[in-house]
Amino acid sequence: MNILVAGGAGYIGSHTCVALLEAGHTVIVADNLCNSRTKALERVKQITNNEITFYQIDVTDEVAVNTVFGNHSIDGVIHFAGFKAVGESVSQPLAYYYNNVVSTMVLSKACQKYKVNRFIFSSSATVYGENTVPFVETMKLLPTSNPYGETKAMSERILTDIAKVNSDWLVALLRYFNPVGAHESGLIGEAPTGIPNNLMPYITQVAKGKLAKLRIFGSDYPTVDGTGVRDYIHVMDLAEGHVAALDKLTKGVHIYNLGTGHGISVLQLVRAFKEANGLDLPYELTDRRPGDISECYADVTKAERELGWTAKRDLVDMCRDAWRFEKNYEG
């Protein structure tokens, strides 16, 4: 299939381009490079020995998006393009609502116009808010404490309503848990600008000596060791989940959790990272981070059953691959 990957130069998008190309799909990337560089796409080509057509456009720009749809016979869209920093979404709500929601509307409008009926959307476990773990797709969504989460819930709603009047649409709302790691080549990975907000890139930067020590946010949660629990998933497993969704999707709107189904604490992740890479990692226990929940992990039975997809890589793979990328990364 010819797949338009919006936000394909980014962290999850670039890994998904690898998985798509390796599965024999053709990839067209639309990205404005606001949080990525074309180097990632060069690396994807190097890994797969394949070509990618690239458009440097903003996917909230309807004219530019229509040009891409007019130039190619597109079979499906995967929409990764969006802002993702939870804290920033609190201080810049308008930018988040605009970018994340308008991009969904412009891309789906083009799909309607050009009769493209496959749409895969990058949602987030954040939409579950303070539900009880494990999170199941049928749960009622709870308000999140930040505009970022609301943009994901709104986009899900918009796509669901559009699909109701387009009975031939096949829509997947993929709720990602905590993607970490990198392609095993070490050529592409997560390269946040500035000080990382997320745990794994913070850990790899401490290991590299770019940051002095990890601060573990909270040691009094009602968890196995008092630190927060998350469902970390290798980014290549996540990428392969998109290929499975493309292959197996049926008509209608389908929601899938993409996680491993296992909760791992911050201290367990730190220990795994040290052991996998034979490195020391200085850390201190500090106060909880505002807005954090205690535990977040998925029930993954629906994706296993309907997509035939399951995460294959373990915590050691995640830690080793994340470090291999960081070690070689030159900024």
Where do contacts with ligand NAD occur on this chain (CB under 6 A)? 7, 9-13, 31-36, 58-60, 80-82, 84, 99, 103, 122, 124, 176, 179
The neighbour count for residue 294, using CB atoms within 10 Å, is 17
Report the run of H or E that residue 305 belongs to, with start and end: helix 301-307
- Smallest distance from the beta carbon of 203 to ligand WQD, in angstroms? 8
Which partner, ligand WQD, ligand NAD, none, binds residue 33 by CB below 5 to 8 Å per kind? Answer: ligand NAD
Q: Please count the other Cβ atoms lying within 10 Å of the Cβ belonging to residue 67.
A: 15
Residue 29's DSSP bridge partners are 5, 54
Provide the 10 A C-beta neighbour count for residue 82: 24
Say how far apart CA 124 and CA 121 lie, in whole Å.
10
Query: Measured from the CB atom, is 103 or 223 closer to ligand NAD?
Result: 103
Q: What are phi and psi of 215, to 5 degrees?
A: -100, 120
Which CB sits closer to ligand NAD, 141 or 279?
A: 141
Instruction: Give the integer Cα–Cα distance in Å for 83 and 89.
Output: 8
Judged by CB under 6 A, which of 126, 155, 257, 277 binds ligand WQD? Answer: 126
In angstroms, what is the minimal distance from the CB of 42 to ligand WQD?
Answer: 26
Let me know if 114 is a catalytic residue.
Answer: no
Query: Shortest Cβ distance from residue 14 to ligand WQD (Å)?
Result: 16
- DSSP lists the bridge partners of residue 258 as 176
* Binding of ligand WQD by 228 (CB under 6 A): yes
- What does the DSSP 8-state code read for residue 24? T
Cβ atoms of residues 11 and 176 within 8 Å = no
Q: 103 or 227, CB closer to ligand NAD?
A: 103
Which position among 67, 198, 268, 301 is part of the footprint of ligand WQD (CB under 6 A)? 198
**With CB cut-offs between 5 and 8 Å by kind, which of ligand NAD, ligand WQD, none does residue 197 bind?**
ligand WQD
Tokens representing residue 110 in the block = 């083009």
55, 96, 128, 148: the catalytic one is 148
Backbone region of residue 218 per phi and psi (left: phi > 0; alpha: psi in -120 to 50; beta: other values): left
Asked if 84 interacts with ligand WQD (CB under 6 A), we say yes
Q: Is 232 within 8 Å of 315 (Cβ atoms)?
A: yes
List the single partner that 99 binds among ligand NAD, ligand WQD, none, CB under 5 to 8 Å by kind: ligand NAD
**Binding positions for ligand WQD, 167-196, rule CB under 6 A:** 178
Given the complex with ligand WQD, which of 68 and 191 has the nearer CB atom?
Answer: 191
Nearest approach in angstroms of CB 195 to ligand NAD is 16
Is residue 230 a contact point for ligand WQD (CB under 6 A)?
yes
- Does 74 engage in binding with ligand WQD (CB under 6 A)? no
Both structure tokens of 95: 């930018």
Question: H/E element holding 258?
Answer: strand 252-258
Name the 3-class secondary structure at 330. coil
d(CA 123, CA 121): 6
Contact 14, 40 (CB under 8 A): yes
Choosing among ligand WQD, ligand NAD, none, which partner's interface includes residue 232 (Cβ < 5 to 8 Å by kind)? none
Please tell me whether residue 77 binds ligand WQD under the rule CB under 6 A. Answer: no
Residues that bind ligand WQD (CB under 6 A): 84, 86, 124, 126, 178, 197-199, 202, 214-217, 228, 230, 266, 289, 292, 296
Cite the active site residues. 148
